[in-house]
A and B are shown apart, each in its own frame.
Chain A
Amino acid sequence: MIAVLAFILLNVAIPVAQAATYTYANGVSTPEGQPRTSGLRSSVTGGSASVQLGIGSVAVVTYYDYPGYSQVGFASSDSGSTASMTHARHTNAHSKCYWSAHNVGGSAKLTCSVKS
């Protein structure tokens, strides 16, 4: 009985309890300033974003869409790095990401994920 419970705990309950990650942009060529979005997610606890570029910055945002747009979490860092964030669970929220470099234009490969 104990062995069965241990098996269930290790192979089912604990993995389910860990955050799930959904990648909604995977190295996709994206113009400067154009957001990539995850779509409506039943649960959002954070996200991450990175861009293959030598200048500028990358950002990831958790938000509630219009009507009543509001941000509930954001993180931004250098384009040569990965920006990540975790926050309280938000239900029926969205994640988006984008890169910017003072309006130099062009496109860069953007990778973004949302955690739930």
Chain B
Amino acid sequence: MKFKTLGATASVAALIALSAAVPATAGNSSAVGLEDMLPVLAVPQDDTDRMPHGIDLADLGGVSKDSVRAIGSDEAARYWVGRSGTSEVCLILQVAADSEMAASTCAPITEFYRNGLRLVAGKSADDPSSSAEAYLLPADIDLAAIGAPEARATARSVASSPNLVSGRPDQLEDLERVEVRREDGSTFYFNPISFEGK
């Protein structure tokens, strides 16, 4: 048992080291443009995309106002996607239970290609009714492959509708970790958030 524990610890340590050291261009993401991963970004911005008054994109990862696109809403929150600089993509939400509460997650485009974007936010981790959880996946990932419900329809065409899985945290408890093999040979890793409020 002692050696198994050491072996497991060493394996985990190696995994952490490798995960941190893998070049950002792994997974052929450089061959796939962001608009291929998120067709909604290729659609011209209109009035329905504008952020609500009072939400400062500068405080939410420096998201470019002109890049923002609305991607859906549900009883938990409203959701947008946008770009920060030239190399990052961001998922933004405004909590339905508190219109002054907004959150974002921004990651390099290569990270988005490999893992998608995932975000959970709200007033308190102990109160799902005041929180929202969301996952934004590249367009080539089938939501059925990760066991998620179909993406909700948006005002845009089906072709540009983003792969968004969202809801209250207590509604998404059944999501599990899944690896999806892509046609290019790379692997997409879907990891549900496990937020332990402290």
Question: Which listed segment binds B: A1-9, A22-30, A67-75?
Answer: A67-75
Q: Report Cα–Cα, A53/B103, bound state, in Å.
A: 21
Q: Which residue of A lies closest to B100 (CB)?
A: A88
Which A residues fall within an 8 A CB radius of B? Answer: 19, 33, 35, 45-46, 48, 52-55, 57, 59, 61, 70-78, 80-88, 96, 98, 100-102, 104-106, 115
Q: Is B61 among interface residues, defined by CB-CB distance under 8 A?
A: yes
Q: Which residues of B contact A46 (CB under 8 A)?
A: 59
CB distance from B21 to the nearest CB of A (A): 8
Contact between chains at B105 and A83 (CB < 8 Å)? yes
Question: Which listed segment binds A: B113-121, B139-147, B158-166?
Answer: B113-121
Instruction: From A52, A71, A87, give the contact of B126 (CB < 8 A).
Output: A71
Given known A-B contacts A53-B16, A55-B19, A82-B105, A76 and B119 have beta carbons under 8 A apart: yes
Given known A-B contacts A86-B102, A102-B194, A70 and B124 have beta carbons under 8 A apart: yes
Q: Is B60 among interface residues, defined by CB-CB distance under 8 A?
A: yes
Q: Report Cα–Cα, A76/B120, bound state, in Å.
A: 5
Q: Which residues of B contact A55 (CB under 8 A)?
A: 15-16, 19
Instruction: From A81, A104, A105, give the contact of B111 (CB < 8 A).
Output: A81
Most chain B Cβ neighbours within 10 Å, of A33, A78, A81: A81
